[in-house]
């Protein structure tokens, strides 16, 4: 093939316009194109982004140049595989802390509790970066926002958007149970870009005359994804269902996307800006798509459903939670001192799912079995690309007319917000609902996860029984949601789970919401977990379960009396604590003085890399199939340097069911991991793109100190 006569600069500009697959093919045309791609820092940066499942943060024309960006991504990703170059520990000064906290965008925030255990303020801490501060660099910021008279239940933040989201109980005179306050992260003033006056979104309309006591407010979950903010109310006490509501806080006004589930919703997470995932108390994932509620309120549509492994007779889920980080729509703040040039792809993130299971055998405190597994959300996103077609037959069968379910319906017809004379429409006549349709109390029974700990107490006395109006409203929203689920079959666990997940015994001290980032996870482990010999050869995937013996060795039969109980978990008794505390409570586990760190990477490309490889990790052509492929390489253990040990796991592993599930769990999602031989004072750990937070907690999970590790 004749060499192109165009200048090299123009050829590189043309190649930069190609799709990734076409760029890879160009590298195999001849030696000239192979050399051209290898020597172009811009094209190499494009390939590195694809290998590590990242997106570029900066436009092409901005500083730093592509040669610097390429060096940064290669060095930082290599350091995660072989973390030898950490900066000295930075101790974070802490004021008195509460039970609600958040960590995102290089900032840590913790609620301050008053004498009545109500969050009265939030303290914010800017975390150190790896770059040494210049002579004119300002000191790290620390500030506190007082909350005044609002009663905060939960909060989250997005510093890149200068956004602080507070979930608070609405005043008694309001028509909603909760209010979402949209504040400035820096000033605590109403956010200037909020679509509503004073930046307050009403959530969950009251449907009965009695007031909801503070002591009986249910657990909530709030999440921000770009312009979207969602609130999950797991137990609606003046109704009979869980409630999920999504707002476009910038442009949506009073419109929202909402759904109710009489049988409950255990947890929720955004998959993208048009889809989300929930997990049900019965042990089932459900994927929904929705339209952004900018100009009108909408109802989500169920597109796929996946079951968890079947439980043994008598067992049931006490609590299920999901975590992934960062949220879709999150774009980091561009800081000149941070040298951040890329961030994780929102469509390829690892999801952690924690399962807490018990066997209710009568009154009393029950013992809890715990497991955790990981999967790539790309599996769910691929399923949402093909929407399930709506079926009118089911709607007609339950007496619901099609216009009510149109995506252009207004807020009043959804029942999510109080109606106005100009917006109100006739609601469904429940005389049309067949008599054999279950009564709401048959569809919903209080689930044990009702007692999940939040920032407020959850003790009797409980509110009065729901009124008839409350039952009718909840029943109506439940039927509307059911109408979007027609024609969707639940995929059994054996058809999707073993090949897409990796299971482990849960470590109760790990907060998985903040212990993962992109496709990486981190946890602290006891020295006793490192005493088992590490195999030197694992073998190819599909080989005998040698590596499973290392990950989950066959344990002796578990005595349920040694497991933590529901009360232990609620009171923080089952969690590890720093060793300098005297703990005499039965069942309380004392954590070791020092623990190791374990970093796992579920990026397929990481499976083919060895620590001694060059920073680029590319083959002689400068390109490789690990960009789009699934990676390759045998499971093996290698010695990076004395401080860290690395291994690659590609074989399936077996997690003993311990009698909880019908059979043992086989899982085979490949990963690589590094384990530190150095020990740290830590009981819990968090991470972001270049930091590790080492938390020291005392009794009941009370935070005593934070050390920050940076690359």
C-alpha span between 153 and 165 (Å, rounded): 11
Distances (CA, A) of 239 to 155, 198, 470, 675: 24, 28, 5, 48
Q: For residue 423, what pLDDT band results from cuts at 50, 70 and 90?
A: very low
pLDDT digits (tens, 9 = 90+) for 117-149: 677 889 999 988 766 666 666 788 899 999 888
- Across the chain, mean pLDDT equals 74
Over residues 270-278, mean pLDDT: 95
Backbone torsions φ then ψ of 526, nearest 5 degrees: -75, 150
Which token pair is 514? 């903040």
pLDDT digits (tens, 9 = 90+) for 2-13: 677 788 888 888
Over residues 275-299, mean pLDDT: 93
| Bigger pLDDT: 106 vs 541 | 106
Of the candidates 209, 656, 281, the residue with the CA atom closest to the CA atom of residue 463: 209
The DSSP bridge partners found for residue 165 are 156, 182
Over residues 532-556, mean pLDDT: 40
pLDDT digits (tens, 9 = 90+) for 171-225: 888 888 899 999 999 999 999 999 887 889 998 887 655 444 444 456 889 999 9
Q: For residue 621, what pLDDT band results from cuts at 50, 70 and 90?
A: very low
Largest CA distance in the chain: 84
Please tell me the predicted confidence (pLDDT) of residue 642: 58
Q: Which strand ranges, in their side-by-side order, compose the sheet holding 684-687? A: 90-92, 703-710, 691-697, 684-687
Whether 630 has a pLDDT exceeding 60, the answer reads no
Over residues 558-564, mean pLDDT: 64
pLDDT digits (tens, 9 = 90+) for 150-180: 888 899 999 999 999 999 988 888 888 899 9
Please tell me the predicted confidence (pLDDT) of residue 470: 55
Q: For residue 614, what pLDDT band results from cuts at 50, 70 and 90?
A: very low
User: Can you list the pairs that 24-27 forms with residues at least 24 positions away whose Cβ atoms lie under 8 Å?
Assistant: 24/623, 24/625, 24/627, 24/628, 27/621, 27/622, 27/623
Of the candidates 197, 196, 100, the residue with the CA atom closest to the CA atom of residue 157: 100
Nearest 5 degrees, angle CA 181-CA 184-CA 189? 75
pLDDT digits (tens, 9 = 90+) for 333-375: 766 455 788 999 999 999 999 999 988 876 666 788 889 999 9
**Residues with Cβ < 8 Å from 207, sequence gap 6 or more?**
238, 239, 467, 469, 470, 473, 474
Distances (CA, A) of 220 to 159, 245, 268, 453: 22, 11, 10, 10
Please tell me the predicted confidence (pLDDT) of residue 572: 56
In terms of Cβ atoms closer than 10 Å to its own Cβ (0-12, 13-18, 19+), residue 533 is exposed
C-alpha span between 75 and 85 (Å, rounded): 10
Please tell me the predicted confidence (pLDDT) of residue 262: 77
By three-state DSSP, how is residue 222 classified? strand
Whether 520 has a pLDDT exceeding 90, the answer reads yes
Which token pair is 553? 């060795």
pLDDT digits (tens, 9 = 90+) for 643-659: 788 889 999 999 999 89
């Amino acid at each position: 093939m004749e060499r192109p006569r165009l200048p090299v600069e123009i050829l590189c500009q043309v190649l930069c316009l190609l799709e990734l697959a076409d760029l890879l093919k160009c590298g195999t045309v001849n030696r000239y194109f192979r050399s051209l791609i290898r020597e172009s820092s811009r094209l190499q940066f494009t390939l590195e982004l694809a290998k590590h499942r990242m997106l570029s943060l900066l436009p092409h024309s901005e500083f730093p140049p592509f040669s610097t960006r390429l060096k940064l991504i290669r060095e930082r990703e290599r350091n995660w595989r072989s973390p030898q170059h950490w900066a000295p520990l930075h101790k974070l000064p802490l004021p008195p802390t509460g039970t609600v906290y958040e960590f995102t965008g290089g900032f840590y925030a913790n609620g301050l509790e008053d004498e009545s255990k109500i969050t009265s303020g939030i303290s914010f801490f800017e975390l150190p970066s790896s770059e040494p501060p210049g002579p004119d660099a300002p000191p790290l910021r620390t500030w506190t926002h007082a909350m005044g008279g609002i009663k905060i239940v939960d909060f989250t933040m997005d510093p890149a958007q200068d956004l602080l989201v507070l979930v608070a109980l609405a005043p008694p005179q309001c028509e909603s149970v909760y209010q979402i306050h949209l504040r400035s992260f820096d000033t605590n003033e109403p956010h200037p870009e909020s679509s509503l006056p004073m930046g307050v979104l009403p959530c969950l309309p009251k449907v009965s005359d009695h007031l909801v006591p503070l002591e009986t407010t249910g657990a909530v979950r709030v999440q921000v994804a770009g312009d979207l903010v969602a609130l999950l109310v797991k137990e609606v006490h003046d109704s009979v269902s869980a409630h999920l509501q999504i707002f476009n806080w910038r442009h949506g006004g009073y419109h929202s996307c909402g759904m109710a589930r009489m049988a409950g919703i255990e947890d929720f997470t955004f998959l993208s800006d048009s889809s989300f995932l929930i997990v049900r108390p019965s042990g089932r994932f459900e994927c929904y798509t929705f339209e952004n509620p900018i100009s009108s309120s909408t109802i989500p549509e169920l597109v796929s459903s996946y079951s968890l492994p079947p439980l043994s007779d008598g067992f049931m889920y006490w609590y299920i939670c999901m975590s992934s980080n960062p949220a879709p729509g999150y774009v980091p703040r561009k800081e000149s001192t941070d040298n951040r040039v890329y961030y994780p792809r929102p469509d390829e993130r690892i999801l952690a799912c924690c399962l807490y299971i018990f066997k209710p055998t009568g009154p009393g405190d029950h013992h809890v079995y715990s497991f955790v597994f990981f999967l790539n959300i790309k599996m769910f996103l691929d399923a949402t690309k093909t929407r399930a077609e709506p079926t009118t037959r089911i709607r007609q069968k339950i007496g619901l007319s099609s216009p009510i379910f149109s995506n252009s319906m207004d807020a009043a017809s959804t029942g999510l917000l109080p109606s106005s004379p100009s917006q109100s429409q006739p609601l469904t006549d429940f005389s049309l609902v067949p008599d054999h349709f279950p009564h709401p109390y048959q569809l919903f029974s209080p689930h044990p996860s009702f007692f999940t700990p939040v920032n407020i107490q959850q003790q009797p006395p409980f509110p009065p029984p729901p009124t008839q109006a409350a039952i009718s409203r909840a029943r109506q929203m439940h039927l509307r949601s059911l109408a979007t689920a027609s024609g969707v079959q639940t995929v059994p666990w054996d058809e999707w789970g073993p090949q897409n997940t990796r299971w482990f015994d849960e470590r109760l001290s790990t907060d998985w919401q903040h212990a993962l980032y992109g496709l990486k996870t981190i946890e602290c482990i006891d020295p006793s977990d490192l005493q088992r010999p590490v195999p030197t050869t694992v073998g190819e995937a599909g080989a005998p379960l040698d590596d499973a013996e290392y990950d989950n060795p066959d344990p002796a039969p578990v005595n349920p009396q040694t497991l933590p109980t529901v009360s232990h978990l609620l009171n923080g008794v089952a969690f590890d604590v720093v060793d300098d505390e005297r703990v005499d409570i039965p069942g309380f586990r004392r954590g070791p003085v020092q623990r190791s760190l374990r970093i796992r990477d579920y990026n397929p490309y990481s499976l083919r890399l060895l620590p001694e490889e060059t920073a680029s990790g590319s083959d002689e052509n400068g390109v490789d199939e690990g960009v789009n492929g699934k990676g390759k390489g045998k499971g093996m253990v290698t010695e990076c340097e004395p401080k860290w040990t690395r291994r690659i796991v590609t074989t399936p592993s077996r997690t003993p069911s311990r009698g909880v599930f019908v059979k043992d769990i086989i899982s085979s999602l490949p990963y690589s991991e590094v384990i530190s031989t150095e020990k740290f004072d830590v009981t819990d750990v968090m991470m972001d793109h270049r930091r590790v937070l080492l938390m020291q907690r005392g009794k009941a999970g009370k935070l005593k100190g934070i050390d920050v590790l940076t690359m």
